[in-house]
Amino acid sequence: MAWTTPATWTPGQVVTASDLNTHLRDNLNFLFSRPNSVIKRDNNANYTTTSTSFVDVDGINLKITLTITGGVVLLAFTVMATSNAIFDILIDSTRYASGGNDGLLATQDASSARGPVSAALLITGLSAGAHTFKLQWKAVTGTATLYAGSGVGNTDFIPTLWAVEVG
């Protein structure tokens, strides 16, 4: 179902059931049935990387593929990670922050062993069709850890990745 530009009504115009169905019902159905997906990954173990180049956190389980009709997607992620991790999103085969060597964002609190990382991105300019979104990361130095439902107290966090077409 596609969006139909609403009619401009004139005084005295008789509005038919077909008009209401097309311009109200169908457009509301379009708005409330946008492609979307959410992943809450209880991995039962933590993810780690020593890579200093961007790699998928989990290319199978922290990946969303949406088939869209418009060109705008709202995407977000929330994780708990060690302070030496830098994150980005891979859209199809291009990193979102590919213009920068340092990615999208990093954990901010270098004084603690871990910290929350969260981002919401409005991704524009996408073509209609299927697009794949993957959470990527790299370690600044040493081993970076993303906590993912290990079952161990104070490290049992669940990473979340979600996306919805908004336009």
Residue 115 included in any domain: yes
- Overall domain count for the chain: 1
| pLDDT for the residue 123 | 94
Residue 22 included in any domain: no
Residue 16 included in any domain: no
The residue segments making up the domain with residue 157 are 36-165
Mean pLDDT of 26-42: 83
Buried b (16+ CB within 10 A) or exposed e, 25-56: eebeeeeeebbeeebebebeebbebeeeebeb
pTM for the model: 0.82
Residue 98 included in any domain: yes
CATH of residue 64's domain is 2.60.120.760
Of 84, 90, 74, the C-alpha closest to 115 is 84
Residue 91 included in any domain: yes
Mean pLDDT of 94-114: 71
Say whether pLDDT at 107 is over 90: no
